[in-house]
Structure 1
Amino acid sequence: MKMGMELEATKSVIDEKLTFVKVHMPWDVLCTYAEVLHIKLPIQPNDLSSRPSPWRYLSCITKYFYPNEDLIRKEAEFFTAPFEKDRLDFFHVRDRDAFFTESMRSRMAYYILSRAPYEIRGSIKKFGITKLLDGGVYKAAYPLHDCRFNVKSKEEGCPNERFLLYQEWAHPKSFYKMQPLDLIRKYYGEKIGIYFAWLGFYTIMLALAAVVGLGCFIYGYKTQETSTWSKEVCDPEIGGKIVMCPQCDRECKYWRLNSTCEASKKLCIFDNFGTLVFAVFMSIWVTLFLEFWKRYQAELEYEWDTVAFLEQEEPPRPEYEAKCLYERKNPVKEKVPYTACGRCVRVSIGIGTVLFWILLIVASIVAITVYRLAAFFAFSARLRAQDLKELEPLKEYVTPQMATSVTASLISFVVIMILNILYERVAIWITDFELPRTKTDYENSLTLKMFLFQFVNYYSSCFYIAFAKGKAVGYPGDPVYLLGKYRNEECDPGGCLIELTTQLSIIMGGKAIWNNIQEVLLPWVKNVIFRYCTRVASEKVIPRWEQDYQLQPVSKLGLFYEYLEMVIQFGFVTLFVASFPLAPVLALVNNLFEIRVDAWKITTQFRRVVPEKAQDIGAWQPILQGVAILAVATNAMIIAFTSDMIPRLVYYWSFSVYPYGKSSGHTMEGYINSSLSVFNTDDFSNFSMPIGKVPNMTTCRYRDFRFPPGHDRQYEYTMQYWHVIAAKMAFIIVVEHIVYLTKFILSYVIPDVPYAVKEQIKREKYLTQVILHETNLKLVSKQQCICPLSLLSVFVFSSRIRDVKSVPDVLKLHTN
């Protein structure tokens, strides 16, 4: 109240012990804090002609994909300038009640409430609504919704913006419509608006990637039956006569290659030449996405008046001001608060804690790897009950490899979810301990910690399958062991790509289902229970503030988890897309639901968010750029080392020709036989010798390029192996350089800020200077009463000072 607010207390209708304190902001207080917070307000209507939309000729069709213009009208465009209370006459004020929007009023009210002192004990000063909330003095503090979301308010002058947002945005029937971003920004603030703008833009760009990815999948599905290598695996005369060596010690049995016929066909769906084209396309797509988002973001910055939103204008967090008991001068001689424990020490402790948790994730990955080895051994031992002499093909989906892959993926997902819950609290505690100065600093610090953890947590199992599994296994006579006990896993004869695809589909699908349960079901159930426990007689009218109190409180971290969910998804879509072309399709479907789920959640189930200013998506922008750069390398390495693409190409161009008598050229016939080496069963060690042995069988085959037994260099690498290694390295280098060069050219050619926006910014700066500054200079020159001392001080440095003999001479000289 000392700071100019008006407070009004009202007893609760439901609970007599509960009191609601309503905060009102008078006009004078609004003007004062609008200047303090550098809020930009209209000074003149936009007089620059806008370029016509290239889609205007299709408006008869596209209008159905936009919100109803009769309900949500397009806002008038104005040039704006930072508000100055002394120059109110130069601002475009048509109606004082509507001059400051509700989001502006709420932001100014929260700024005062978070800094108002309420108790002083010696040198300790307590202030801020946050401290009172933590102490239990107040149970909640929130801005009010303007009406019920599903019932239009009958009060005169009520804007009913919440009702409009629900009807045209959050309602499931509007899933196909574009988002009313201007109304979202007006009602919830720029920070919420920029998130939904980014999510909508990302979803639109995903549509293009999904179409190409679906085309690649269909191509692979159509060619799985005609693929030469899958036909050779399934052929009883080729794959049916190739006996493969056991993949574990003693308990594993010999098996025929055609037992993996169905798995080989499924592998051809994802491992084909179309996947290579799609991986290169996605590397270009991610560059276009980021560059066009910068342009779109620049347009929103201008339209939403966040162009000049500088970090130094952001006030310190109340928690920072409360804990900083000392002051010192910075390089610009400005007094700034600081704490006794230096920031360097706090950050060092935080980094050490983050590294410890990352090592904990690595330990969990090692544990899951040990499980995979033990599980593969157990599944193989169980299947040994089959008749070894017949070597019948295993049924689909019951191979040891598939059983191990599915169970390990499910366990990995559960471990990921548990570690996420634990680390979330640790990350918040570390960031609080570091004591960042502003809320932006706080969110950026927490964002980096959480993303590093989530990156390792979600992607480590995928990196293991893609780049570690089956890469160092030795050969049957001399296998490689993990921890001296467990024999390293081998890939299927077709490679580990199908297992990587399984891992990605389980984690992506499970994560989407889990997040929807958390975001939709839990808030709805909590609200239903709360309303049931606090229900009142029907004749009582529950006021708006009490209806909002029954809704769920907004998380302190706001949109942090929404961004984190989408950025992790972005990593799955880009980092491993070479193994799973359907990833963009799944992401697109998920995002179409995500937009409406988030909209429904914040509109119907949560209290109104305190509006905040935001210029961009913050620390998530450089994180997305880093993921995009890493995605080029990971996809090139997946194609080179995880898929069977390069060995096939090497065989096709270097080691295969048509038999004599046929037309000249190359063929893939004989590739399967070429990619499998021969091992003498008598060369097994006593520890690894299989328990069962097939009569009249002296050799078995395994996946590698080694000389056969009896050769002068038996079990050493052949020349084909070195050709394949050289081709893989050359492929990675060439593809990376081509893609990175293309990305650089695209980022240079596409400007970050559109030309039209640049012109509007220049025009706005010019008008600000003319209206707010030059006008005042003219007023000064028209003043009738001029202080002689001021004029004398002006002419002290004039060469005509010798002509000044009296005050009349000064006035005369000034007039001349």
Structure 2
Amino acid sequence: MPGHRRQPSIELLELMGVVKENGNEQISLPPVLTPLSYDYVLVAKTCNDQDREAFKKQREYIEELQKKNFKVKKIIDDDLVFYGIQAPKEIFEKYRYLLKVSDACNWSSDQNIVALSTRIRIVHFILNHTLIHTEESLRDLMKTKVFEARFCLHEKKKQKELKESWARWTACLQGQPITAVRNYFGEKVALYFLWLGWYTYLLIPPAIIGIIVFLYGLSFFSTSPLIHEVCESSRFMCPLCDNSCKVWKLSDTCTYAKVTILFDNNGTVFFAMFMAIWTTLFLEFWKRHRASYVCEWKVSDWSEEEEELILEIVNDVNCEPKKFTHSYLQSTVVLICVTAMIMVIIGLTHALVVFRVIVAANFASGSRKFLNMDLNMEAMMLGAVLHYIIITVMTRVNRIVAMKLCGMEKTRSFAATEKNFTVKMFTFQFFTYFSSLFYVAFFLGRINGHPGDYVRIAGKWRLEECHPSGCLTDLFIQMTIIMVLKQIISNVFEFSGPWFGKFLKRKRIKKLQRKCAHCYLKDDTEAKERAEQCENCKLRDWHNNYQLKDVDSFSLFDEFLEMVIQFSFTTIFVAAFPLAPLLALINNVIEIRLDAIKMVTLQRRMVPKKTNDIGVWIDILEAIGVLAVIANGLVIGVSSDFIPRLVYQYHYGPCANGTVTDIDCMSGYINNTLSIASMTDDKVTFKPSQMVTSDGINITSCSYKDYRSSDYNFTPQFWLILAVRFAFVILFEHVVVICKFIAAWFVPSAPMQVKNDQLFDKLNRLKEELRSFEA
């Protein structure tokens, strides 16, 4: 009704210090109006007739917290109920004492005050391990919508400080206040940003060398005999498909040959070796860099299992730890399921191959070109776009499957579940991203057969062929499209999603109209101001945090996964894409600030987690480093034309006899790699209409890329090249692996200063314990 003022609820009156005396409301302004520090906030819907069961569970859960001496402040605002949770001091005293007498962390005498980040972590653990009579925990109550949300509050002062020094776009080229990030978000988030910053910093050398290699290839544009041989060739190549495709001029693919030289030259070999060694140096120097910070933070000897035991005792002194268990049957079932999932993902790669083949055939039948490019190039680009769409869809599927498999394992702790989930999710994502790239790198153009005996899908569509200049450009195109699309689109959605969600929530939630109870009772300006400072400010603060994007235990996992996948792109197939480190460097400079802005201003505060390393991710990075050596050796030895060119230059080319000539040693190389198919051969099945050129000239033979004789048997040159390829791969991998071991041995895992500091810290601690014993 107009002019009617909504009366405050009984809960709010009691909360504000308004009491009833002889039926009359009296005002009291006790010290409780002084703002209190709340460790956690729970949010639920207000009770109605349909939610009475949920309301009972909600009330029972709050009562269980109160039995543990937790202070709970309840504020009702329209259709939401906010519960401010404050833990008693004795809980933190117990934690400090147990931590001091354990080996979970280096303890120093100046750690007498429990930081708010530590308080939040302890309260978060207790809330998750508080059960009601139905044995439901807070996670279960969240799933059944008994509670709508839970979060720890942002600290306005520290949030503002982080925003000014770190979480802003203008700080892109500045360092990161890692210790301040650790104090606010905990060690786990701080180590992520420390790793990301270190990774970005060490990308500078490979980015510079990648540019030099690219420019080195660019310098051959006007002088390379390979380009001239393709661009000035009068050869006609065999049709790329059946029925509708016709012979085509090799010179029509001049642009393709130029692009190939950019990414397939002698500099590529050096760059691939450099990146394999760089991966080892990066990981070894990261260990040193990390050791300096964890020593400063006094978590060098931190133990996850002991930390968990301490928290369990703090929550319930009569607790019984969950025992370690292992089931071979269960592990076998999970392994079979993981294998089956990998087979499904590889099957999608085969589907991409079929898609490209069919698209190329349809474009050929339509006698049209997309963007005026080669048919196979068109199919490759469209296949890369489809691959990105599959990646987007499969990311959701992979997450669901990985979570289901982790549920089957019934791990002892959440940390173990998180580790298992990380391994499974990364494995699925790795195959999703790289299965198609492995096909392009090592199988494309090598299993397609030859004229008269082509390999066909369903007996109808011919497999793709490589360009006479090589297959490496196809791998480059595939990588470029996926990597660029992934980084640009991911960053756009990663930033705009939380911002847009926050904007919509602000539009949906009504403007806070609640006033202090004192505003309804007496016209006392001072009382109103004091009440406003207490309840309305607190409620507004809780509302602001509630409006932010929700975070969970796997929010940081998503950030790590994105960066580790990028690390894989940057190292595994870098021989095909020397500019990958440059793109990664540019992306990471943006990514650091994007993640900082998102965590500080657009998301609810993450629960601070303690750790002294990046966990299982370091093992994954080590595995990627080994795989990078193998893959780059195979790319150069198998996919690249480096070995065939080398064999031609020193065995078959004009300089093979060692005499000095005025002819370039690589002259005639393209013609040397081509074989002839004649229409007079009964095995050749090309139709006469396919052997008519665009000028209307009938030809009787065409060329195709392979080392075959007139009877389609492999020539001795093919077997020599094959032997040299395998010899190079073995030599390359052994040399690089030896270099990796030397680099790992040469670089200590921790700076000497850090080791000495730890030594003296332990010595002082033992002396202090001895003095306490003697006293």
Q: TM-score, normalised by structure 2?
A: 0.83
Q: Counterpart of 2:704 in 1: which secondary structure?
A: strand
Q: Counterpart of 1:504 in 2: which secondary structure?
A: helix
Is the contact made by 1:250 and 1:690 (CA closer than 8 Å) also made in structure 2? no
Q: Which protein, 1 or 2, shows the higher relative CO under an 8 Å CA cutoff with sep ≥ 6? A: 2
1:92-117 superposed Cα distances (whole Å, 9 cap, x missing partner)? 36xx7xx2211111112222222233
Matched letter for residue 416 of structure 1: I
1:168-220 superposed Cα distances (whole Å, 9 cap, x missing partner)? 11110111111100000000000100110001000001111111111111221
| Within-5 A mapping of 1:41-52 | none
Unaligned runs of 5+ in 1: 43-79, 84-90, 148-159, 328-333, 386-393, 709-713, 780-816
> 175-184 vs 351-360, which deviates more?
351-360
Distance 1:166 1:306 in 2: 26
Corresponding residue of 2:262: 269
Please, which of 675, 681, 685 is the counterpart of residue 673 of structure 2? Answer: 675
Instruction: Return closer, same or farther for 1:483/1:118 CA change in 2, 3 Å cut-off.
Output: same
Distance 2:489 2:396 in 1: 13
Instruction: Return closer, same or farther for 1:776/1:542 CA change in 2, 3 Å cut-off.
Output: closer
Q: Counterpart of 2:428 in 1: which secondary structure?
A: helix
Distance 2:245 2:175 in 1: 57
| Within-5 A mapping of 1:391-540 | 397-536=372-511
- Does residue 776 (structure 1) correspond to residue 742 (structure 2)? The answer is no
Corresponding residue of 2:702: 700
Is the contact made by 1:317 and 1:437 (CA closer than 8 Å) also made in structure 2? no
Distance 2:103 2:450 in 1: 74
Q: Counterpart of 1:700 in 2: which secondary structure?
A: strand
Is the contact made by 2:216 and 2:267 (CA closer than 8 Å) also made in structure 1? yes
Corresponding residue of 2:523: none
Distance 2:670 2:322 in 1: 72
Corresponding residue of 1:174: 171
- Does residue 117 (structure 1) correspond to residue 126 (structure 2)? The answer is no
Corresponding residue of 1:307: 300
Corresponding residue of 1:255: 248
Please, which of 345, 349, 354 is the counterpart of residue 361 of structure 1? Answer: 345
Instruction: Return closer, same or farther for 1:2/1:528 CA change in 2, 3 Å cut-off.
Output: closer
1:745-798 superposed Cα distances (whole Å, 9 cap, x missing partner)? 111111112111111111111111111x2122212xxxxxxxxxxxxxxxxxxx
Instruction: Return closer, same or farther for 1:759/1:533 CA change in 2, 3 Å cut-off.
Output: same
1:522-556 superposed Cα distances (whole Å, 9 cap, x missing partner)? 11111111111113158964422222112111123
Distance 1:659 1:303 in 2: 62
Shift of 1:499: 1.0
Please, which of 615, 620, 623 is the counterpart of residue 620 of structure 2? Answer: 623
Is the contact made by 1:656 and 1:666 (CA closer than 8 Å) also made in structure 2? no
Instruction: Return closer, same or farther for 1:28/1:608 CA change in 2, 3 Å cut-off.
Output: same
- Does residue 143 (structure 1) correspond to residue 143 (structure 2)? The answer is no
Instruction: Return closer, same or farther for 1:738/1:421 CA change in 2, 3 Å cut-off.
Output: same
1:128-165 superposed Cα distances (whole Å, 9 cap, x missing partner)? 43233233332222221111xxxxxxxxxxxx211111
Is the contact made by 2:324 and 2:412 (CA closer than 8 Å) also made in structure 1? no
Structure that is richer in helix per residue: 2
Please, which of 266, 271, 277 is the counterpart of residue 278 of structure 1? Answer: 271
Percent of aligned pairs with the same amino acid: 35
Is the contact made by 1:143 and 1:609 (CA closer than 8 Å) also made in structure 2? yes
Q: Counterpart of 1:683 in 2: which secondary structure?
A: coil
Instruction: Return closer, same or farther for 1:663/1:693 CA change in 2, 3 Å cut-off.
Output: closer
Distance 1:299 1:700 in 2: 65
Q: Counterpart of 1:521 in 2: which secondary structure?
A: helix
Q: Counterpart of 1:407 in 2: which secondary structure?
A: helix
The alignment of Structure 1 onto Structure 2 pairs a total of residues equal to 679
Q: Counterpart of 1:678 in 2: which secondary structure?
A: strand
Corresponding residue of 2:110: 92
Distance 2:215 2:456 in 1: 40
Instruction: Return closer, same or farther for 1:466/1:22 CA change in 2, 3 Å cut-off.
Output: same
Distance 1:247 1:554 in 2: 52
Matched letter for residue 382 of structure 1: G
| Within-5 A mapping of 1:233-382 | 233-235=230-232, 239=233, 241-315=234-308, 336-337=322-323, 343-382=327-366
Q: CA RMSD in A?
A: 2.7
Is the contact made by 2:679 and 2:701 (CA closer than 8 Å) also made in structure 1? yes
Is the contact made by 2:120 and 2:152 (CA closer than 8 Å) also made in structure 1? yes
Distance 2:604 2:99 in 1: 24
Is the contact made by 1:652 and 1:667 (CA closer than 8 Å) also made in structure 2? yes
Distance 2:186 2:731 in 1: 46
Distance 1:633 1:81 in 2: 41
Shift of 1:41: 12
1:466-498 superposed Cα distances (whole Å, 9 cap, x missing partner)? 001101222212222334333221111111111
Q: Counterpart of 1:454 in 2: which secondary structure?
A: helix
Distance 1:435 1:318 in 2: 21
Matched letter for residue 778 of structure 1: E
Unaligned runs of 5+ in 2: 1-64, 516-535
Shift of 1:3: 6.3
> 19-28 vs 566-575, which deviates more?
19-28
Instruction: Return closer, same or farther for 1:578/1:754 CA change in 2, 3 Å cut-off.
Output: same
Shift of 1:576: 0.4
Corresponding residue of 1:28: 90
Shift of 1:337: 4.5
- Does residue 756 (structure 1) correspond to residue 753 (structure 2)? The answer is yes
Is the contact made by 2:98 and 2:310 (CA closer than 8 Å) also made in structure 1? no
Shift of 1:659: 11
Is the contact made by 2:469 and 2:670 (CA closer than 8 Å) also made in structure 1? no
Instruction: Return closer, same or farther for 1:758/1:3 CA change in 2, 3 Å cut-off.
Output: farther
Corresponding residue of 1:61: none
Q: TM-score, normalised by structure 1?
A: 0.79
Q: Counterpart of 1:10 in 2: which secondary structure?
A: strand
Instruction: Return closer, same or farther for 1:282/1:265 CA change in 2, 3 Å cut-off.
Output: same
Instruction: Return closer, same or farther for 1:133/1:231 CA change in 2, 3 Å cut-off.
Output: same
Distance 1:273 1:266 in 2: 15
Instruction: Return closer, same or farther for 1:306/1:480 CA change in 2, 3 Å cut-off.
Output: same
Instruction: Return closer, same or farther for 1:547/1:40 CA change in 2, 3 Å cut-off.
Output: farther
Is the contact made by 2:304 and 2:611 (CA closer than 8 Å) also made in structure 1? no
Distance 1:137 1:538 in 2: 25
Q: Counterpart of 1:117 in 2: which secondary structure?
A: coil
1:590-639 superposed Cα distances (whole Å, 9 cap, x missing partner)? 11111111101110011111111112111111111111111111111111
Matched letter for residue 223 of structure 1: F
Instruction: Return closer, same or farther for 1:687/1:698 CA change in 2, 3 Å cut-off.
Output: closer
Is the contact made by 2:452 and 2:685 (CA closer than 8 Å) also made in structure 1? no
Please, which of 106, 115, 134 is the counterpart of residue 143 of structure 2? Answer: 134
1:262-283 superposed Cα distances (whole Å, 9 cap, x missing partner)? 1111111111111111111111
Instruction: Return closer, same or farther for 1:702/1:305 CA change in 2, 3 Å cut-off.
Output: same
Distance 2:385 2:166 in 1: 36
Shift of 1:19: 2.6
Q: Counterpart of 1:21 in 2: which secondary structure?
A: strand
Shift of 1:309: 1.3
Instruction: Return closer, same or farther for 1:495/1:766 CA change in 2, 3 Å cut-off.
Output: same
Distance 1:473 1:686 in 2: 15
